[in-house]
Amino acid sequence: MIKKNNLNRNAGGLKSVAADDNDAERRMIELYCEMQGVFGQYVFWIREMLVFIISGVKGRTEVIEKLKKQSDLIGAAFGVYYDETVGQKIRRLYYDQSLLIIELARSYTYENTRLYDGTLVALQDNNRQLTEYYLSLGEGYEFEVLSEFLTKNVDDTALQIRRRFDGEFDGELSSFDSAYGNIISMADYLSDNIAKTIS
């Protein structure tokens, strides 16, 4: 499953040890930057989607499509270091999550409490599926840590929705900052475990 040659030293012996070390360091930096990039953009497009849906401004269809597309980039990032099967599974889980977050924003905007509560339950189940799948990828992943990251992501998103709807724009921005910081920390945690697994 793991593509071990992504971060390992060159086995051909044509490069010097120093060159191998430099190459490994470069690939490690690329790993962390890529994970931070795809997850950071995911949270950014979530916020953009919330603003467009709740404010009812034009262009929300395009923003929604960009959020959905971000799941492709997350899956592709995992596919580089694991394989295509893993990448597709991760892509599907985050695509499903993005649809649920869109539904969460719409249901709150239209004051459909029953649909909103049901969508929150569905998001919790999506978090469970993500946690279980991450755990299947290697021994370094911990249930409690993953659960905390994923739960906070949903909580911060729900708080952004409520605050945007109620016109608490400073509070909404604070919730976004919290969501962004959380997702970057999660990206680093995932990168830590990918690096340990394939080094």
Amino acid occupying residue 150: L
Contacts of 33 (CB under 8 A, 6+ apart): none
**What HEC string does 140-199 produce?**
CCCHHHHHHHHHHHHHHHHHHHHHHHCCCHHHHHHHHHHHHHHHHHHHHHHHHHHHHHHC
Give 160's pLDDT tier (boundaries 50, 70, 90): very high
The pLDDT tens digits for 11-44 are 444 344 445 667 878 888 999 999 999 999 999 9
62 contacts 45 by C-beta, under 8 angstroms:
no
Angle CA 73–77–78, to nearest 5: 120
The pLDDT tens digits for 140-151 are 899 999 999 999
**Among candidate residues 138, 135, 146, the one with its CA nearest the CA of residue 81:** 138
Domain regions of the chain by residue span: 15-198
